[in-house]
Amino acid sequence: MDNINQVEILIVEDNPSDAEMALRAFKKNNLTNKILVVEDGEEALNYLFCKGQYATKTKESRPKIILLDLKLPKINGLEVLKEIKGHPDTKIIPVIVLTSSKEESDIIESYQLGVNSYIVKPVDFEKFVEAVRDLGFYWLLLNQLPRL
């Protein structure tokens, strides 16, 4: 990523295969926005709150959307979500949770913490592409964020 201040989509995913599939799904849907993939919860929070390796990032630049896996090293997805939705600077960013199974109880808790939507990561890639397309259109193209 050349410029960390121009990120539009933040993907928090520790599994590089899943991350790649997600990127491919965006690409296949012609959503060519600037995407940053971070591999754990800590890095995600550092990025969002301009800390650690992202200390140079300007606070004003915010991603348009965050795709958040729940099972993450160091700080798990629910904790990351809690931070994002608990902070006035970030709580407005739409967060889409990526889950392995729709039956997971985590989904309920995610909603309680203020998640905007979720995508079940299906084994069938075609279905995944469809899901990303639907959500991407909505959150990136249709849903206008208020200016801060």
Partner 1 sequence: MSANKDNLQFRIITLALLMVAHLIAFSSPDTLVAHNYSISYSTFDTILIGSEPDYPPYCIVDEDGQPDGFSIELFMAAAKAAGLQVKIKIGIWEVIKNELADGKIDALPLVGRTPEREEIFGFTLPYLKLHGAVFVRKDTKDIHSLRDLTEKKLIIMKGDNADEYARRMNLSEDIINTNTFEEAFQMLANGEGDAVITQRIMGLRLLENMEISTIKPLDIQLPEFRQDFCFAVKKGNQKLLNQLNEGLSVVIANDTYQQIYFKWFGPAIKEELSTEDIVRIALFIFFPLVIILVVLWVLLLRKEVKRRTRRLRNEITNHKNTWHELTLKQEKLAASEDQIRLLLDSTAEGIYGIDENGDCTLINKSAIQILGYESDTEIIGKNMHNQIHHTKVDGSPYPKNECAIYNSLIQGRGAHVDDEVLWKKDGSNFQAEYYSYPIQQHEKVVGAVVTFWDITEKKRTEKELIKLTEELELTVKKRTAELNEKVLKLDKSQQAMLFMVEDLNRITAELKNERRKLELSNKELEAFTYSVSHDLRAPMRAINGFSNFLLEDYADKLDQEGRRYLDTIKKNAIKMDKLITDLLSLSRVTKADLVYTTVDMEQMATRAFEDMATTNEKQDFNLKIINLPSIKGDVTLLTQVWQNLIGNALKYSSNSIEKNIEITATDSKNEVVYKISDSGAGFNEKYKDKLFGMFQRLHRDNEFEGTGVGLAIVKRIIIRHGGRVWAEGEVGQGARFYFALPKQS
Q: Which residues here bind partner 1, judged by CB under 8 A? A: 15, 17-18, 21, 24, 71, 100-101, 103-104, 121-126, 128
- 88: amino acid identity, one letter: P
Burial category of 128 from C-beta neighbours within 10 Å (exposed 0-12, middle 13-18, buried 19 and up): buried
| Least distance from partner 1 to the Cβ atom of residue 135, Å | 18
- Rounded least distance, CB 121 to partner 1, Å: 6
Whichever of 14 and 43 has its CB closer to partner 1, that residue is: 14
Say how far apart CA 32 and CA 30 lie, in whole Å. Answer: 6
State in angstroms the smallest separation of the CB of 63 from partner 1: 24
Distances (CA, A) of 148 to 55, 92, 133: 20, 9, 27
What six digits make up the tokens of 128? 């995944």
With respect to partner 1, which residue has the nearer C-beta, 7 or 129? 129
Nearer to partner 1, 46 or 76 (CB): 76
When the beta carbons of 62 and 121 are compared against partner 1, the nearer one is: 121
Strand order through the sheet with 9-12:
35-38, 9-12, 65-69, 95-99, 117-120
